[in-house]
């Protein structure tokens, strides 16, 4: 990937954003690989939009960007919610560590969360992010596999996987992954431009 584009993407997906995990849930760290909203909606018990299947169905047919963004915010809110106070506290410390660019500490904290609550998908996703930032691609890929095993529709992890494939020079695989992410989230920010660029590079321009 062109270096300036790579750094623009890293900034855009806010890999070092802020996390707010307590009861709410309010979150402002990205969903690591794609930018999560600064302010997520408060979830109400019994609200049908708390159902991920419903939300992903709505995401595919969202009529405009505002509707898509609102649905995406709901999805992030569900992904980031944790019923464990200990997990919430550790995730807050992860945020502080990543804000301070202390990736080693963030990874140690995420190690603890993964051991404590292995089904908490976002711990795997954020650790994948931290490993990516350290250019430890094999470990990042291993954690992405864990994310996608738990939530195959995780468009954030898919976008991250595409970035890794590009960094490794596998543009064809990156293109396939971005297309898969876009099929899940048709209005996923920046990904359509990446697909256009890679399509021209991998498949050539139409004559």
Alpha-carbon distance of 154 to 31, in angstroms, equals 10
Q: Given a cut of 90, is residue 193 above it in pLDDT?
A: yes
CA atoms of 179 and 196, how far apart (whole Å): 10
Helices (H), 81-203: 85-99, 103-116, 121-133, 137-150, 155-167, 171-184, 191-203
Structure tokens at 85: 């106070």
Beta bridge partners of 34: 31
- At 1, the pLDDT band (50, 70, 90 cuts) reads very low
| Token duo for residue 142 | 């291993």
Domains with residue ranges and CATH for the chain: 3-203 (1.25.40.10)
Query: Who contacts 91 (Cβ-Cβ below 8 Å, separation ≥6)?
Result: 19, 21, 82, 113, 122, 123, 126
The pLDDT of residue 2 is above 80: no
pLDDT digits (tens, 9 = 90+) for 9-53: 443 333 322 232 322 332 323 334 554 555 555 655 555 456 899
Helices 191-203 + 155-167 axis angle, to 10: 40
Asked if 33 contacts 157 with a C-beta cutoff of 8 angstroms, the reply is yes
For position 25, what pLDDT does the model report? 30
User: Closest Cα partner for 84 from 63, 64, 114?
Assistant: 114
Tell me the sheet residues that pair with 31. Answer: 34
Our separate counts of H helices and E strands in the chain read 10, 0
pLDDT by residue (tens digit) across 117-172? 999 999 999 999 999 999 999 999 999 999 999 999 999 999 999 999 999 999 99
CA 108 to CA 64: how far, in whole Å?
40
User: CA 183 to CA 191: how far, in whole Å?
Assistant: 11
- As a whole number, the mean pLDDT across the chain is 81
> Rounded CA gap, 108 and 18, in Å?
18
At residue 31, the pLDDT reads 39
């Amino acid at each position: 990937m062109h270096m300036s584009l790579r750094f623009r993407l890293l900034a855009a997906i806010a890999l070092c954003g802020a996390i707010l995990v307590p009861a709410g849930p309010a979150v402002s760290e990205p969903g690591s690989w794609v930018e999560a909203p600064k302010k997520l909606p408060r979830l109400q018990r019994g609200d049908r939009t708390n159902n991920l299947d419903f939300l992903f169905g709505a995401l595919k047919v969202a009529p405009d960007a505002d509707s898509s963004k609102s649905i995406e915010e709901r999805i992030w809110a569900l992904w980031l919610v944790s019923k464990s106070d200990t997990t919430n506290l550790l995730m807050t410390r992860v945020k502080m560590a990543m804000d301070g660019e202390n990736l080693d500490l963030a990874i140690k904290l995420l190690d603890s969360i993964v051991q404590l609550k292995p089904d908490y998908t976002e711990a795997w996703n954020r650790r994948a992010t931290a490993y990516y930032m350290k250019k430890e691609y094999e470990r990042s890929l291993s954690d992405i596999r864990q994310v996608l095993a738990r939530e195959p529709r995780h468009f954030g992890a898919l976008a991250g996987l595409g970035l890794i494939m590009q960094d490794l020079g596998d543009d064809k695989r990156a293109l396939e992954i971005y297309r898969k992410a876009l099929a899940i989230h048709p209005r996923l920010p920046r990904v359509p431009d990446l697909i256009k660029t890679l399509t021209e590079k991998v498949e050539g321009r139409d004559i």
